[in-house]
A and B are shown apart, each in its own frame.
Chain A
Amino acid sequence: MLSESTVGTPQTLADTPKAAATVCKLNSKNLNFFYGSFQALHNISIEVASNKVTAFIGPSGCGKSTFLRTMNRMNEALRNTRVDGDLLLDGENLFSMDVTDVRRRVGMVFQRSNPFPKTIFDNIAYGLRVNGIHKKRVLEEAVERSLQRAALWTEVKDKLQKPASALSGGQQQRLCIARALAVEPEVLLLDEPCSALDPIATLKIEELLFQLKSVTTIVIVTHNMQQAARVADYTGFFLLGRLIEFGDTKKIFQNPGVKETEDYVTGRFG
């Protein structure tokens, strides 16, 4: 039976890999988050490993998306919210950094693709232009590189000046990934990126994530446990605003330490 005394204790955090091989890119310490008077996150302490894929799983309303949005301070755009605790990027306090700088270094891809009503080229170049890069050659190279990384280059290289809205759903989501990659973020957050896509498009994106590990750190929120099992190196299980268990994906799915985790991954609730 889950009780307040077993949540977030060393028993579950002991699973957090601290081996010399993995470097911690982003970590939180006792992070609490409030929507008005409602506490959405309780004492979240987590370490996200560099150049690895970390997945957050859990039932609806468990706080995984809220925590993700705290990681690039997107929640600040909402009214009447409060954050408490530490969030560090490479040891630097995220909350004392300039917020636009945070968002460039920690990028985000949303659940529903949101291409701007501009051309494909202008969509990808947007982040660069906003950060002061205007040289045509630099932009063109960056756009090509980002589209290559998002496995979209061959499909769109001849129609960069066409509107982004003309692309299919899966292509639009890869466009959004390319757009986020263009500013070379150190961490890429993905909030259920495949939930609105068909299985083939989903597979393409999952393959992509595997390759992107080498250029950036990935954190993905997913409703789909099998997806987490497929793509993630580390998995964190959230429930009711608390981090119940965190560790190696294989361990979480095959040999979970906490009963609630086991119940969730075996499908007894969700």
Chain B
Amino acid sequence: MMTEISRKRKVTNAVMLSLTGVCTVLVIGVLFFILGYLLWHGGRSLNWDFFTKLPKPSGESGGGMANAIVGSGKVLLVATLIGVPLGFMAGVYLAEYSGKTFAFTLRYTVDLLNGVPSIVIGIVAYALVVHPMHTFSALAGGVALGIMMVPIAVRTTEEFLRAVPNSLREGAMALGATKAKTIFTVVVPAAISGLASGMMLNLARVAGETAPLLFTALGNTFWSHGWLHPIATLPVMIYNYALAPEEDLHQQAWAAGFVLLALVLVINITARMIIARGAASSRR
């Protein structure tokens, strides 16, 4: 009787282990499949020209996406400068100062903002920045992406600050530090690895957003100087090239897709490493 039951258990165990194992492989496989597919189709275009040259006019082959790579960098920089400080300070308020009801309301509002479709945020940025300035710009694109960064910045900051043990706050206050000094000289430094990696993941998520850039940054086949002119970005270039008739441009779109994905992966992996190192040092 017992051997019958234990055999059934062993079989169930083996089946579930295999099933979960297969699913895991499938999930990881999807990522590698995408990477491989992009590389297969766009690999030919991943050359030195791609990273250094401007797009060639319609009909001519060759050229690159140097302006889009730099453009993405510029727009993301503006987004970080807008989204991170706003989100961070709101997160500090939520974690350290607010009362229960206001905290609940603020968190709910932030979650709602997170759910707003990215194209709607693009329209808002158009109305706020592009229309009054009468120009598409890196600034407008940065504003749109910055707004998208705020909700995650707020929640990440709040979470990591709350994770700092209260004993550290008490220790600082017992030495005569005010609440603000305690927060910025003890609590935030204690949470810094989590905060930094959280912001990086936030950036990685926003790096691939295309819809809001369509009517804020617009696009540019040349270099965009300064911050107040239309600017090329990787996601929008992929969009434009994918719809173009030339095969050469299709391949460049694949290559751009690969570069974008690689960028996001690198940011993600770096962020995870920072968290891991932070966790290891605090466990000592």
Using CB atoms and an 8 Å cutoff, list the residues of chain A in contact with chain B. 72, 74, 77, 100-101, 103-104, 107-108, 110, 112, 114-118, 126-127, 130-131, 163, 165-166, 176, 179-180, 183
Contact B176 A127 (CB under 8 A): yes
B172 at the interface (CB under 8 A from A): yes
Whether B174 and A126, one on each chain, are in contact in the complex, defined by CB atoms closer than 8 angstroms, is no
- Evaluate contact between B170 and A107: CB separation under 8 angstroms: no
How far does the Cβ of A171 sit from chain B's closest Cβ, in whole Å?
Answer: 14
Asked if A110 and B170 make an inter-chain contact with CB atoms under 8 angstroms apart, the answer reads yes
**Chain A CB within 8 A of B105 CB:** no
Contact status B174-A72, CB under 8 Å: yes
Question: Which residues of chain B have C-beta atoms less than 8 A from A126's C-beta?
Answer: 172, 175, 177, 185-186
Known pairs A110-B170, A116-B168, A126-B186; list 7 more (Cβ under 8 Å).
A77-B173, A112-B167, A114-B168, A116-B171, A117-B168, A126-B177, A176-B171
Give me the interface of B with A, judged by CB distance under 8 Å.
165, 167-178, 181, 185-186, 189-190, 281-282, 284
* 6 pairs of A and B residues whose beta carbons are closest in the complex: A104-B176, A127-B175, A114-B167, A108-B174, A114-B171, A130-B177
| Nearest-Cβ distance from residue B73 to partner chain A, whole angstroms | 32
Q: Nearest CB to that of B175 among chain A residues? A: A127
Query: Could you tell me if B170 and A117 are in contact, using CB atoms closer than 8 angstroms?
Result: no
Chain A residues lying within 8 Å of B168, measured Cβ to Cβ, are 114, 116-117
Minimum Cβ distance to chain A for residue B279 (Å) = 12
In the docked arrangement, what's the CA distance between A130 and B172, Å? Answer: 9
Q: How far is the CB of A133 from chain B (nearest CB, A)?
A: 12
Given the complex of chains A and B, what is the CA–CA distance between A116 and B169 in angstroms? 9
Task: Tell me the bound Cα distance from A77 to B168 in angstroms.
Answer: 13
CB-CB under 8 A from A118, the residues of chain B are 189
Q: Are A100 and B178 in contact (CB under 8 A)?
A: yes
Residues of B close to A180: CB separation below 8 A: 174-175
Nearest CB in chain B to that of A104: its residue: B176
Question: Is A107 a contact partner of B284 (Cβ separation < 8 A)?
Answer: no
Find out whether the CB atom of A74 lies under 8 angstroms from the CB atom of B170.
Answer: yes
> Which residues in B have their C-beta under 8 angstroms from that of A183?
175-176
Centre residue among A77, A112, A117 by max chain B CB count within 10 A? A117
- B174 and A116 contact, CB distance less than 8 A: no
Residues of B within 8 A of A166 (CB): 284
User: Once the chains bind, are A104 and B175 in contact (CB under 8 Å)?
Assistant: yes
Among A74, A100, A163, A183, which residue has the most Cβ atoms of chain B within 10 A? A100
A72 to B169, CA, bound (A): 15
B170 touches A114 (CB 8 A): yes
Of all chain B residues, the one with the shortest Cβ separation from A72 is: B174
B167 & A103 in contact (Cβ 8 Å cutoff): no
> What is the bound-complex CA distance between A21 and B176, given in angstroms?
31
With both beta carbons as reference points, the residue of chain B lying nearest to A118 in the complex is identified as: B189
Q: Please state if B174 and A103 are interface contacts (CB–CB under 8 Å).
A: yes
Inside 8 A of A115's CB, which chain B residues have their CB? Answer: 171
Q: Are B175 and A117 in touch, CB under 8 angstroms?
A: no
CA distance A197 to B168 in the complex (A): 19
- Return chain A residues, CB-CB under 8 Å to B281: 117, 163, 165
Please measure, in the bound complex, the distance between the C-alpha atom of A74 and the C-alpha atom of B250, giving whole angstroms: 66
Report how far A127 CA is from B165 CA in the complex, Å: 19
Question: Given A116-B168, A165-B284, A166-B284, A74–B174 Cβ distance below 8 Å?
Answer: yes
The contact sample of 14 A-B pairs, CB cut-off 8 A, is: A74-B170, A103-B173, A103-B176, A104-B176, A110-B167, A112-B167, A116-B172, A117-B189, A127-B175, A130-B181, A163-B284, A165-B282, A166-B284, A183-B176
Chain A proximity of B61: nearest CB distance (Å): 56
Smallest CB separation, A71 vs chain B (Å): 11
Could you tell me the distance between the alpha carbons of A202 and B284 in the complex, rounded to whole angstroms? 22
User: What's the Cα separation between A108 and B172 when bound, in Å?
Assistant: 10
Give Cα A176 to B167, complex, Å. 12
Distance of A46 Cα from B170 Cα, bound (Å): 25
Establish whether residues A74 and B173, one from each chain, have CB atoms under 8 Å apart when the complex forms: yes
A107–B171 Cα distance when bound, in Å, is: 10
With both chains docked as a complex, state the minimum distance between the C-beta of B183 and any C-beta of chain A, in angstroms. Answer: 12
